[in-house]
Amino acid sequence: EIVLTQSPGTLSLSPGERATLSCRASQRVTSGYLVWYQQHPGQAPRLLIYAASTRATGVPDRFSGSGSGTDFTLTISRLEPEDFAVYYCQQFGSSPLFGQGTKLEIK
């Protein structure tokens, strides 16, 4: 069974800074099956990136995804106040699985 490990657990940054979030898989993941979501407190997750690097409809271009194999990255180029949230990576295999999340908090 694939395990997804996200790092760091918490990332403290200021608005305007660049955020780099990591998702590492214990086995190779097909890029088409790697997805990123954003979740604000009390809300449902929101689809951000699918197929490792394709932005979902309406997602600002400051969000970008990259990676392949076992290492994937979500980058937010310049943080806006609304970007502070929890981010989850997820892989679709025989059993969809989420990483444990990275909390992006205001420094």
Q: Which is nearer to other proteins, 30 or 78 (CB)?
A: 30
Q: Which is nearer to other proteins, 18 or 26 (CB)?
A: 26
Q: What is the end-to-end Cα distance of the chain in Å, rounded?
A: 36
- Beta pairing class for 10-13 and 102-106: parallel
Which of 62, 64, 66, 92 touches other proteins by CB under 8 A? 92
Residue 65 within binding range of other proteins, rule CB under 8 A: no
* DSSP assignment string, the chain: ---EEEE-SEEEE-TTS-EEEEEEEEEEE-GGGEEEEEE-TTS--EEEEETTTEEPTT--TTEEEEEEEEEEEEEESS--GGG-SEEEEEE-SSS-EE---EEEEE-
Which of 46, 59, 64, 73 touches other proteins by CB under 8 A? 46
Closest contact distance (angstroms) between CB of 15 and other proteins is 26
Q: Which is nearer to other proteins, 27 or 100 (CB)?
A: 100
Residue 66 within binding range of other proteins, rule CB under 8 A: no
Instruction: List residues binding other proteins (CB under 8 A).
Output: 30, 32-33, 35, 37, 43-47, 50-51, 54, 56, 88, 90, 92, 94-101
